[in-house]
Homo-oligomer: A and B are copies of this chain.
Protein backbone atom coordinates (compact mmCIF):
# COMPACT_ATOMS: atom_id res chain seq x y z
CA UNK A 1 0.00 0.00 0.00
CA UNK A 2 1.59 3.22 -1.16
CA UNK A 3 0.43 6.40 0.58
CA UNK A 4 -2.30 6.38 3.17
CA UNK A 5 -4.66 3.97 1.41
CA UNK A 6 -7.54 6.45 1.31
CA UNK A 7 -7.95 7.70 -2.28
CA UNK A 8 -8.99 11.26 -1.50
CA UNK A 9 -6.18 11.70 1.04
CA UNK A 10 -3.58 10.15 -1.26
CA UNK A 11 -4.78 12.44 -4.04
CA UNK A 12 -4.33 15.44 -1.78
CA UNK A 13 -0.84 14.33 -0.69
CA UNK A 14 0.19 13.91 -4.34
CA UNK A 15 -0.96 17.47 -5.04
CA UNK A 16 0.73 18.98 -1.99
CA UNK A 17 4.02 17.25 -2.87
CA UNK A 18 4.26 19.55 -5.86
CA UNK A 19 4.63 22.64 -3.65
CA UNK A 20 8.23 23.91 -3.65
CA UNK A 21 10.42 22.29 -0.99
CA UNK A 22 7.68 19.89 0.12
CA UNK A 23 8.39 16.16 0.11
CA UNK A 24 6.34 13.09 0.97
CA UNK A 25 6.49 13.67 4.74
CA UNK A 26 5.75 17.38 4.52
CA UNK A 27 2.80 16.76 2.22
CA UNK A 28 1.45 14.11 4.57
CA UNK A 29 1.80 16.50 7.50
CA UNK A 30 -0.10 19.22 5.63
CA UNK A 31 -2.80 16.74 4.61
CA UNK A 32 -3.38 15.53 8.16
CA UNK A 33 -3.43 19.12 9.39
CA UNK A 34 -6.10 19.95 6.79
CA UNK A 35 -8.14 16.85 7.73
CA UNK A 36 -8.07 18.03 11.34
CA UNK A 37 -9.36 21.55 10.63
CA UNK A 38 -13.01 22.66 10.73
CA UNK A 39 -14.79 22.38 7.38
CA UNK A 40 -15.25 26.17 7.23
CA UNK A 41 -11.55 26.73 7.42
CA UNK A 42 -10.84 24.12 4.77
CA UNK A 43 -13.50 25.64 2.52
CA UNK A 44 -11.84 29.06 2.96
CA UNK A 45 -8.41 27.67 2.12
CA UNK A 46 -9.74 25.91 -0.96
CA UNK A 47 -11.47 29.08 -2.11
CA UNK A 48 -8.49 31.34 -1.33
CA UNK A 49 -6.33 29.22 -3.61
CA UNK A 50 -8.78 29.46 -6.50
CA UNK A 51 -9.52 33.14 -5.96
CA UNK A 52 -5.91 34.24 -5.89
CA UNK A 53 -5.12 32.32 -9.07
CA UNK A 54 -8.24 33.57 -10.88
CA UNK A 55 -8.16 37.21 -9.87
CA UNK A 56 -4.46 37.89 -10.33
CA UNK A 57 -3.00 38.71 -13.73
CA UNK A 58 0.17 40.44 -14.86
CA UNK A 59 0.11 44.27 -14.82
CA UNK A 60 -0.20 45.43 -18.43
CA UNK A 61 2.69 47.85 -17.97
CA UNK A 62 5.28 46.16 -15.76
CA UNK A 63 4.17 42.52 -15.58
CA UNK A 64 3.89 42.66 -11.78
CA UNK A 65 1.02 41.25 -9.72
CA UNK A 66 -2.28 42.99 -10.48
CA UNK A 67 -5.96 42.33 -9.88
CA UNK A 68 -7.07 44.88 -12.47
CA UNK A 69 -5.26 46.18 -15.56
CA UNK A 70 -2.54 47.96 -13.59
CA UNK A 71 -0.64 46.88 -10.47
CA UNK A 72 -0.81 49.09 -7.35
CA UNK A 73 2.66 50.48 -8.11
CA UNK A 74 2.05 51.44 -11.75
CA UNK A 75 -1.23 53.08 -10.76
CA UNK A 76 0.39 55.08 -7.94
CA UNK A 77 1.15 58.64 -9.18
CA UNK A 78 3.61 59.14 -6.31
CA UNK A 79 6.01 56.52 -7.68
CA UNK A 80 8.99 57.90 -9.61
CA UNK A 81 8.57 57.34 -13.36
CA UNK A 82 12.23 58.06 -14.12
CA UNK A 83 13.65 54.86 -12.66
CA UNK A 84 12.68 51.34 -13.61
CA UNK A 85 13.90 48.42 -11.55
CA UNK A 86 14.11 45.20 -13.59
CA UNK A 87 13.46 41.97 -11.67
CA UNK A 88 13.29 38.36 -12.75
CA UNK A 89 9.97 37.49 -11.14
CA UNK A 90 6.89 38.93 -9.47
CA UNK A 91 8.20 37.39 -6.28
CA UNK A 92 11.43 39.42 -6.51
CA UNK A 93 9.36 42.55 -7.10
CA UNK A 94 7.44 41.89 -3.87
CA UNK A 95 10.72 41.19 -2.05
CA UNK A 96 12.11 44.59 -3.16
CA UNK A 97 8.91 46.36 -2.15
CA UNK A 98 8.88 44.86 1.28
CA UNK A 99 12.04 46.71 2.23
CA UNK A 100 10.62 50.13 1.24
CA UNK A 101 13.96 51.35 -0.11
CA UNK A 102 12.93 52.05 -3.71
CA UNK A 103 10.38 54.55 -4.95
CA UNK A 104 10.58 53.97 -8.69
CA UNK A 105 8.68 51.47 -10.81
CA UNK A 106 9.35 47.91 -11.84
CA UNK A 107 9.64 45.71 -14.87
CA UNK A 108 9.20 41.97 -14.40
CA UNK A 109 11.07 39.82 -16.93
CA UNK A 110 9.18 36.63 -16.09
CA UNK A 111 12.26 34.55 -16.85
CA UNK A 112 16.04 34.56 -17.05
CA UNK A 113 18.63 33.85 -19.68
CA UNK A 114 20.25 30.51 -18.89
CA UNK A 115 21.41 28.74 -22.06
CA UNK A 116 22.46 25.63 -20.13
CA UNK A 117 18.92 25.17 -18.81
CA UNK A 118 17.38 26.17 -22.13
CA UNK A 119 15.72 29.17 -20.44
CA UNK A 120 15.40 32.60 -21.96
CA UNK A 121 13.85 35.96 -21.12
CA UNK A 122 10.40 36.16 -22.77
CA UNK A 123 10.89 38.44 -25.81
CA UNK A 124 7.66 40.36 -25.02
CA UNK A 125 9.14 41.38 -21.68
CA UNK A 126 12.21 42.86 -23.36
CA UNK A 127 10.10 44.48 -26.09
CA UNK A 128 7.78 46.13 -23.57
CA UNK A 129 10.76 47.35 -21.53
CA UNK A 130 12.26 48.95 -24.68
CA UNK A 131 8.84 50.42 -25.37
CA UNK A 132 8.64 52.02 -21.93
CA UNK A 133 12.11 53.55 -22.33
CA UNK A 134 11.43 54.72 -25.89
CA UNK A 135 8.32 56.55 -24.79
CA UNK A 136 10.70 58.79 -22.82
CA UNK A 137 11.01 60.06 -19.29
CA UNK A 138 13.01 57.08 -18.05
CA UNK A 139 16.48 58.15 -16.83
CA UNK A 140 17.74 54.87 -15.44
CA UNK A 141 17.10 51.16 -15.59
CA UNK A 142 18.35 49.32 -12.50
CA UNK A 143 18.88 45.59 -12.90
CA UNK A 144 18.00 43.83 -9.64
CA UNK A 145 19.14 40.38 -10.69
CA UNK A 146 20.73 37.66 -8.59
CA UNK A 147 24.56 37.65 -8.43
CA UNK A 148 24.81 34.26 -10.12
CA UNK A 149 25.94 33.11 -13.56
CA UNK A 150 22.34 33.22 -14.80
CA UNK A 151 21.85 36.66 -13.25
CA UNK A 152 24.96 37.97 -15.03
CA UNK A 153 23.86 36.53 -18.35
CA UNK A 154 20.36 37.94 -17.90
CA UNK A 155 21.76 41.35 -16.99
CA UNK A 156 23.93 41.35 -20.11
CA UNK A 157 20.98 40.37 -22.29
CA UNK A 158 18.83 43.20 -20.90
CA UNK A 159 21.72 45.67 -21.23
CA UNK A 160 22.16 44.58 -24.85
CA UNK A 161 18.46 44.98 -25.60
CA UNK A 162 18.64 48.62 -24.41
CA UNK A 163 22.09 49.42 -25.83
CA UNK A 164 20.93 51.83 -28.55
CA UNK A 165 18.62 53.78 -26.25
CA UNK A 166 19.67 56.90 -24.30
CA UNK A 167 19.19 55.43 -20.82
CA UNK A 168 21.57 54.65 -18.01
CA UNK A 169 21.63 50.95 -17.16
CA UNK A 170 22.95 49.98 -13.71
CA UNK A 171 23.08 46.88 -11.63
CA UNK A 172 22.76 46.19 -7.90
CA UNK A 173 26.22 46.05 -6.34
CA UNK A 174 27.59 42.78 -5.12
CA UNK A 175 26.58 43.42 -1.55
CA UNK A 176 24.25 40.51 -2.22
CA UNK A 177 25.64 37.16 -1.11
CA UNK A 178 26.71 35.12 -4.13
CA UNK A 179 24.45 32.13 -4.71
CA UNK A 180 21.65 33.77 -2.72
CA UNK A 181 18.40 35.15 -4.07
CA UNK A 182 16.74 38.57 -4.00
CA UNK A 183 13.90 37.15 -1.98
CA UNK A 184 16.00 36.10 0.99
CA UNK A 185 18.29 39.13 1.32
CA UNK A 186 17.87 41.29 4.43
CA UNK A 187 17.02 45.00 4.23
CA UNK A 188 20.53 46.24 5.01
CA UNK A 189 22.15 44.09 2.34
CA UNK A 190 19.56 45.05 -0.26
CA UNK A 191 19.89 48.74 0.65
CA UNK A 192 23.70 48.60 0.29
CA UNK A 193 23.37 46.85 -3.03
CA UNK A 194 20.92 49.49 -4.23
CA UNK A 195 23.18 52.36 -3.18
CA UNK A 196 26.32 50.74 -4.59
CA UNK A 197 24.82 49.99 -8.02
CA UNK A 198 27.34 50.38 -10.83
CA UNK A 199 26.95 51.53 -14.44
CA UNK A 200 27.39 48.89 -17.13
Chain A residues proximal to chain B, CB less than 8 Å:
1, 4-9, 11-12, 15-16, 18-21, 25-26, 28-35, 37, 39, 41-56, 65-67, 71-72, 89-91, 94, 97, 183-184
- Contact: A1 with B97, CB < 8 Å? yes
Q: Decide: A20 and B12 in contact? CB cutoff 8 A.
A: no
Q: For the complex, give the distance between the alpha carbons of A45 and B51 in Å.
A: 12
Given A5-B72, A12-B48, are A53 and B39 neighbors across the interface (CB < 8 Å)?
yes
| Chain B CB within 10 A, most for which of A18, A21, A31, A39 | A31
Q: Are A49 and B49 in contact, with the CB atoms below 8 A?
A: yes
What are the residues of chain B within 8 A of A4 when measuring CB–CB?
Answer: 65, 94
Give A21 to B21 CA distance when docked, in angstroms.
12
A-B contact pairs, 7 of them (CB 8 A): A4-B65, A5-B72, A6-B56, A8-B52, A8-B56, A9-B65, A15-B48
Whether B90 and A32, one on each chain, are in contact in the complex, defined by CB atoms closer than 8 angstroms, is yes
Instruction: Please provide the 8 A-B residue pairs with the shortest distance between their CB atoms, ordered closest to farther.
Output: A12-B52, A42-B53, A8-B52, A32-B91, A8-B55, A46-B50, A12-B48, A46-B49
Return A92 CB to nearest CB of chain B, in Å: 10
Give the contacting residue for A33; candidates B5, B12, B15, B20; CB below 8 A: B20
Complex: A4 Cα to B8 Cα, angstroms: 32
Q: 13 more A-B contacts (CB under 8 A) besides A15-B44, A35-B56, A42-B50?
A: A6-B66, A8-B51, A12-B49, A20-B29, A20-B30, A21-B26, A29-B91, A35-B65, A39-B54, A45-B49, A46-B46, A46-B49, A49-B49
Are B30 and A97 within 8 A (Cβ)?
no
Question: For residue A66, which residues in chain B have a CB less than 8 angstroms away from its CB?
Answer: 6
Most buried by B among A6, A89, A183: A6
Q: How far is the CB of A117 from chain B (nearest CB, A)?
A: 16
Task: Given the known inter-chain contacts A12-B48, A45-B49, please indicate yes or no for A6 contacting B72, CB distance below 8 A.
Answer: yes
